[in-house]
Amino acid sequence: MLIRPPFALLRTEIAGIPVVQLVQQFGTPVFVYDAAWIVRRLEDLRHFDCVRYAMKACSNLAVLNLLRRHGALVDCVSAGEVRRALYVGYPAQGDPPPIVYTADIFDRESLQLVVEQGIHVNCGSPDMIRQYGQLAPGREITLRINPGFGHGHHLKTNTGGERSKHGIWHEQLGECLKEATQFGLRVTGLHMHIGSGTDLQHLAQVCGAMEKAVLKAGPGIRMISAGGGLPIPYSPEQQYVDLDEYYRLWDNTRQRLQQALGHPIRLEIEPGRFLVAEAGYLISEIRAVKQQGPFTFYLVDAGFNNLARPILYGAYHPISICPADGDTNRPEIDAIVGGPLCESGDIFTQQEGGFVVTRRLPKAQVGDWLILERVGAYGFVMGSNYNSKPFAPEVLIQHGQARLVRRRQTFEDLIREEISPE
């Protein structure tokens, strides 16, 4: 059974280190990652042959290096992500490929990079096959297939079906196999991912679609990828997917395919959120407490420039308070949590559609710290400099030590690439 990090309305420490110490050392706002939870979640997936981290979730070099040292491989979606993987020590080539580039297009930089470095490519469109085949005939590729249906916790995270841009449409598989053959490209694996928040009912459909696609592709297939989308509980009411049943469904599919094709099939999984989300915290300071009619607002120094998921998806994140005076006997009130940006949508307690809601939280005052939790995935990486706000620092806690792994952006950093008129 998966062990879940505890939910708490009051929190005085993170991974054994007092919040006050973290704030004194690194300031606010600040992202803090607990390395032990990342490693724990990786171990939870060890029954898969290959765990390939979808590094778009959190691409900090220290996090990548941590996962590399514990045996995870990586999936990249841009030239920049490929370069990050190479920088922390992933070799360009190997079996299985340490780095896979998965996308629906090649921009010119990424195409040049994967050709020069020999990075394995997972093609999500017929044009990718043609463009890659013209420059690198004779290599191995995998194909990302859109099975014609999708699933996700939000329309914007649904990556399957006819309204999704992702993957090769399942009815075009035969044509794409022929096109790959024309360039001497060997299709050795298939990848299928229909969206985040996968449940077992939809997973069974994906397994069935994968089996059908592999049998159509033929005996050259040596790998199938279950994709990502493994959910984590952002609220106490939510649950993890049953990992044993998740694996059983995919392994049964693999076993049938091995029997049909007559050779071993590697089973990969491609988690992002599942590995890093629960490990992340965003510590902010409450800078104003306002009464707006019947509503109490806690306004903090972190905004959607730091954490965009609430404004993008109406995403729920656990919130806790760390009292600056050490008083842990605060009564609870209903409050709305907002940031400093000049946007009405800069609210952390909102639902899909932008509907502002209250959250039951300890009574707080200016100078207390408010912690947004489970922000390790799609937190810092989706940040921006909106309102000319600098990027927050990132801190990794490992073996009881808090280490700065990205310094706070300065104003000089912010304007470094700009060219001032004479």
Residues that are catalytic = 342
Q: Which of 27, 11, 316, 291 is nearest to 154 (CA)?
A: 316
Distance CA 56, CA 273 (A): 9
Cα 168 from Cα 143, distance rounded (Å): 7
Instruction: Name the phi and psi angles at 54, rounded to 5.
Output: -80, 95
Cis peptide preceding 29, ω within 30 of 0: yes
User: Which residues, listed in sequence order, are joined to residue 6 by a DSSP beta bridge?
Assistant: none
Strand pairing report for 13-14 and 359-362: unpaired
Structure tokens at 207: 């397994």
Is the torsion defined by CA of 109, 115, 117, 123 positive or negative?
positive
CA pair distance 82, 119, nearest whole angstrom: 8
Q: What single letter denotes the amino acid at residue 269?
A: I
> Cα angle at 340 between 356 and 371, to 5 degrees?
75
The token pair at 198 is 């996968």
DSSP codes of every residue in 207-248: HHHHHHHHHHH-TT--EEE--------SSTT-----HHHHHH
Count the Cβ atoms, other than its own, within 10 Å of residue 157: 18
Tokens of 59: 């691409």
- Cβ distance 272 to 279 under 8 Å? no
Return the CA Rg of the chain.
23
> If residue 98 lies in a helix (H) or strand (E), which one and from where to where?
none
Tell me the CA distances in angstroms from 301 to 69, 306, 368, one per residue in order.
35, 10, 11
| Angle, helix 243-261 to helix 200-217, in steps of 10 degrees | 20
Q: List, in sequence order, every beta strand (DSSP E) within 226-323.
A: 266-269, 280-292, 295-300, 319-322
Cis before 96 (ω within 30): yes
